[in-house]
Amino acid sequence: MTRGHLDVIKRGARLFDTLVVAVAINIEKKPLFPTEERIAMLRETVRAEKIDNVEITTFSGMAVDFVREQGSHVLLRGIRTLSDWENEFQMALTNRALDTGIETVFVMASLEYSYISSRLIREVATLGGDISNFVPPAVEKRLRKQYK
Amino acid sequence: MTRGHLDVIKRGARLFDTLVVAVAINIEKKPLFPTEERIAMLRETVRAEKIDNVEITTFSGMAVDFVREQGSHVLLRGIRTLSDWENEFQMALTNRALDTGIETVFVMASLEYSYISSRLIREVATLGGDISNFVPPAVEKRLRKQYK
Amino acid sequence: MTRGHLDVIKRGARLFDTLVVAVAINIEKKPLFPTEERIAMLRETVRAEKIDNVEITTFSGMAVDFVREQGSHVLLRGIRTLSDWENEFQMALTNRALDTGIETVFVMASLEYSYISSRLIREVATLGGDISNFVPPAVEKRLRKQYK
Amino acid sequence: MTRGHLDVIKRGARLFDTLVVAVAINIEKKPLFPTEERIAMLRETVRAEKIDNVEITTFSGMAVDFVREQGSHVLLRGIRTLSDWENEFQMALTNRALDTGIETVFVMASLEYSYISSRLIREVATLGGDISNFVPPAVEKRLRKQYK
Amino acid sequence: MTRGHLDVIKRGARLFDTLVVAVAINIEKKPLFPTEERIAMLRETVRAEKIDNVEITTFSGMAVDFVREQGSHVLLRGIRTLSDWENEFQMALTNRALDTGIETVFVMASLEYSYISSRLIREVATLGGDISNFVPPAVEKRLRKQYK
Amino acid sequence: MTRGHLDVIKRGARLFDTLVVAVAINIEKKPLFPTEERIAMLRETVRAEKIDNVEITTFSGMAVDFVREQGSHVLLRGIRTLSDWENEFQMALTNRALDTGIETVFVMASLEYSYISSRLIREVATLGGDISNFVPPAVEKRLRKQYK
């Protein structure tokens, strides 16, 4: 989770009554941190930022099915301006083909986080650089431990 | 108003309790149709499509001020996938700089309308081509009269 | 092979007297299906779609050399509008540098298939989602078996 | 007509038995040169380049109708790599919506002409700069006369 | 001159011993302010920002010729990340074709100014909005007077 | 090192008194050639091209720190027009966030090398194709040996 993700969570929490942040469990991909750790980082950060109307959970399977199960029909995605909007559009259109009743809604991350990419953060962390501008404290301390 | 705009209105009406569709009154630009005519086309179309929770109105001045006056803090924009997302991002960021409390939210127009541009429709109409795939009937009849 | 690829094959078959569809044999990459299976899927689909003037074959080595060996000087590529045109341009320019006599010609896939990517299809298939909108039946049944 | 256009004409002439180059007559737009002059420049250039299988003509109305009248179903467009591919895709999709039987086919202009734009050439010509790298001689002499 | 332009001037002044900022005199285009006023705004701003090694001047004719006359071979351009890099590349390549000895060098404007466009600023100014985040004071006071 | 990289080195050498070309040592990535070999290829090529004011070295750690250690504050990057400008912008903005005193400066590679990618060159070399247009002789001979 980067400061860009946090910014999108904040915006989403202002737009909707309840925002469910769901971490995808993907057996094939190997994320840097295990799922429980990722959930913990999200929880710590949301608490530190005093965002009340956010639920943090996991899901496996297809995103559209998860949205349905939550009784919702809106899938919120943050879009960085310097970045993967093309991927986002492909994913949104694939999800629309899978379930036309689910609407993907985009908000723009703050400009100051628009260039932050997980790959570059990881590279900076590996090289011992200062990543406090890029990730919230709950992530920074874990990344530091990981790469020490 | 193209079928792409109509599609975005439909999606917005499903997302929010009430959707206010506001036509900008801009003294300097000369739109093809006068404001009253544009309002009429919108009203006819929304009625024909049986979309109930849409209010149609005009505004002058800045969009962010209009959103505030409506007691809202959300500005909905449709985004075509083959198109001006760059302009949209610039406008959204300018609006954010003008009023950080207003959030621009994007939905994607249906793929089948993603390539429709007002300029190309006007060109086809001028040349006597069939525009019924590109605009709703209320617009088609007026464009036909205009270019006969 | 996605429905997007099939759409491009259909368009190519209408443009040229004979269309040779060639599957690249690449020892280093590991495709999901072995070459014979990929050929079989193409043959089944082309027969089911009643496209008569298509030959299906394999090639190894450079694409420009294969085109020469076929006695042709045209390399047809489908271009999705939401996608890798940048990669396509790089490849076309590299091929032009390798053999200036070979012309790469592009047709646009149908808009409704423009967002379909093999990666996303595979993801949906893995998760047990419905992929019949994305691939022809000959591919669907094999993907289903693979991911059961 | 720039050297980029000429390059596309050459490529088209190698791809097809006969290539019809059609200048659009548009009453509303005011091109730099009158239609007859534009035709003359094309004829001179094609003759100088010894391209035999090119017919030069004009058309008014919709491009898809013109293609039909010529007994063809292929619309060839040159695509510059640094440029308006987005406009080209919109136009191709609009034409497809108007007549699904007409296929737009793209070839890439030579890289060395990929950045040439009519607007920049005109600017250079106005300022008395050397435009011989950008346009064929038949155009150069007329532009020089125009801006002397 | 926006805050984006000012930011690029500052970066250029740190990179080179002397930076010449040249306002193009173009008889055909009608800028919002006359040349003398534009020069005055630049001078006021550069003085207020205490940038010492900047010369402000005008030029007519081609940019590459002006660079030569200054005894330089470097043309500095600021590039906004959300914006016209395509235009910039076309212009740089055209200039390279006109004079291969002149090198166009790009610096990135600060992210916080990357979305600012003259067109949007003018629109905000016309509507009476606050433009102090977008332009330096010397420009703001003149724009305010203009649009009162 | 492609001919595109060489072109950027030449342009950099003309822009600055001394140009330091630094090969990143990255333990995790496995480049095709070991570091010493990459340095040797650079040295041979720079000597063959008679570029005098270039120093070739290696660095590990963060690029901004290396620039500081060299007593410089400029980081030169070549930008291909058909390519990764988005990645370049992300990296430049990340570097700016890490050290605001370091300025990333871009020059454009020559158009004729703008489409060359290491990945495609490697593919052509694997298939036994002619790569002399894409890489300098010092690289060509090593790639040939590698893929024989």
pLDDT tens digits in sequence order for chain D, 148 residues long: 999 999 999 999 999 999 999 999 977 778 889 999 999 999 999 999 999 999 999 999 999 999 999 999 999 999 987 667 888 999 999 999 999 999 999 999 999 999 999 989 999 999 999 999 999 999 999 999 998 7
Residue E88 amino acid letter = E
Q: Would the CB atoms of C112 and B111 count as touching at under 8 Å?
A: yes
Residue of A22, A19, A18, A38 whose CA lies nearest to A30: A38
Structure tokens at D106: 């793209």
Q: Return the CATH number at C89.
A: 3.40.50.620
Q: What is the pLDDT of residues A100-136, one digit of tens each?
A: 999 999 999 999 999 999 989 999 999 999 999 999 9
What's the CA gap between E13 and E47, in Å, rounded? 13
Query: Does C3 score more than 90 pLDDT?
Result: yes
In a domain, D60, yes or no: yes
The answer to whether C9 and C54 are in contact (CB under 8 A) is yes
Residues of A in contact with B106 (CB under 8 A): 79, 105-108
Mean pLDDT of F46-57: 97
Q: What is the pLDDT of residue B11?
A: 98
Least confident of A35-39, A41-45, F78-82: F78-82
- The kind and range of the H/E element at B69 are helix B63-69
Q: Would the CB atoms of B106 and A111 count as touching at under 8 Å?
A: no
Q: Would the CB atoms of B115 and D89 count as touching at under 8 Å?
A: yes
The answer to whether C33 and C41 are in contact (CB under 8 A) is yes
Q: How would you label B96-106 residue by residue, b for 16+ Cβ within 10 Å and e otherwise?
A: bbbbeebbbbb
Q: What is the pLDDT of residue A15?
A: 96
Structure tokens at E135: 């332009």
Residue F1 amino acid letter = M
Q: How many CA atoms lie within 13 A of B142 on its CB side?
A: 19
What's the CA gap between E73 and E63, in Å, rounded? 11
Per the model's pLDDT, the better-predicted residue between F133 and C85 turns out to be: F133
Q: Is B118 a catalytic residue?
A: yes
Q: How would you label A49-59 residue by residue, b for 16+ Cβ within 10 Å and e otherwise?
A: eebeebebeeb
Residues of D in contact with B133 (CB under 8 A): 97
Task: Give the residue ranges of DSSP H helices in D16-136.
Answer: 35-48, 63-69, 85-98, 118-126
In a domain, A147, yes or no: no
For B99, residues 6+ apart whose C-beta sits below 8 A from its C-beta are B64, B65, B68
Let me know the angle formed at the C-alpha of B122 by B117 and B124, rounded to the nearest 5 degrees: 95
pLDDT band at E83 (very low <50, low <70, confident <90, very high): low
Q: What is the pLDDT of residues E16-59, one digit of tens each?
A: 999 999 999 977 777 889 999 999 999 999 999 999 999 999 99
Q: What is the pLDDT of residue F15?
A: 96
Mean pLDDT of E61-78: 97
Coil, strand or helix at C57: strand
Structure tokens at E52: 């010492």
For F128, residues 6+ apart whose C-beta sits below 8 A from its C-beta are C61, C62, F147
- For helices D118-126 and E85-98, angle between their N-to-C axes, nearest 10 degrees: 50
The Cα of E47 is separated from the nearest Cα of chain B by a number of Å equal to: 27
Least confident of A100-109, B117-126, E38-47, F42-51: B117-126
In a domain, E88, yes or no: yes
Computed over every residue of chain B, the mean pLDDT equals: 93
CA distances from D51 to B79, D11, D46, D106, D111 (A): 44, 10, 6, 20, 21
Q: What is the pLDDT of residue C83?
A: 67
What's the CA gap between B65 and B98, in Å, rounded? 9
What's the CA gap between B22 and B3, in Å, rounded? 17
Structure tokens at C134: 């994305």
Structure tokens at F148: 């024989």
In a domain, F76, yes or no: yes
Q: What is the pLDDT of residue D30?
A: 80
pLDDT band at F83 (very low <50, low <70, confident <90, very high): low
Residues of A in contact with E111 (CB under 8 A): 111-112, 114-115
Q: What is the pLDDT of residue B91?
A: 94
pLDDT band at C132 (very low <50, low <70, confident <90, very high): very high
Q: Classify burial at B108, counting beta carbons within 10 Å of its beta carbon; exposed 0-12, middle 13-18, buried 19 or more.
A: buried
In a domain, A148, yes or no: no
Q: What is the pLDDT of residues A49-105, one digit of tens each?
A: 999 999 999 999 999 999 999 999 999 999 987 767 888 999 999 999 999 999 999
Query: Does C64 score more than 80 pLDDT?
Result: yes
Residue of A20, A25, A2, A5 whose CA lies nearest to A78: A5
The Cα of E91 is separated from the nearest Cα of chain D by a number of Å equal to: 8
What's the CA gap between B40 and B141, in Å, rounded? 12
The answer to whether C39 and C56 are in contact (CB under 8 A) is yes
Using a CB–CB cut-off of 8 Å, the residues of A that contact B are 11, 14-15, 73-74, 79, 81, 85, 89, 92-93, 96, 103-108, 111
Terminal alpha carbon distance of chain C:
19
Q: Is E73 a catalytic residue?
A: no
Mean pLDDT of C1-6: 95
In a domain, A43, yes or no: yes
Residues of A in contact with C117 (CB under 8 A): 90, 94
Q: What is the pLDDT of residue F32?
A: 87
Q: Is C29 a catalytic residue?
A: yes
pTM here?
Answer: 0.92
The answer to whether C1 and C38 are in contact (CB under 8 A) is yes
The answer to whether C109 and C80 are in contact (CB under 8 A) is yes
Q: Which residue segment(s) compose the domain that A113 sits in?
A: 3-141
Let me know the angle formed at the C-alpha of F144 by F138 and F148, rounded to the nearest 5 degrees: 155
Query: Does A35 score more than 70 pLDDT?
Result: yes
Residue of B52, F24, E93, C104 whose CA lies nearest to D134: E93
In a domain, F146, yes or no: no
Percent of residues, chain E, with pLDDT higher than 70: 99
Query: Does B30 score more than 90 pLDDT?
Result: no
Number of domains in chain D: 1
pLDDT band at E77 (very low <50, low <70, confident <90, very high): very high
Percent of residues, chain F, with pLDDT higher than 90: 82
In a domain, D115, yes or no: yes
Q: How many CA atoms lie within 13 A of C30 on its CB side?
A: 0
Q: What is the pLDDT of residue B29?
A: 74
Lookup result for tokens 């094999």:
C142
- For an interface test with B, the pick among D29, D85, D94 (most B C-beta atoms closer than 10 Å) comes out as D94
C24-38, C77-91, D88-102: which is most confident: D88-102
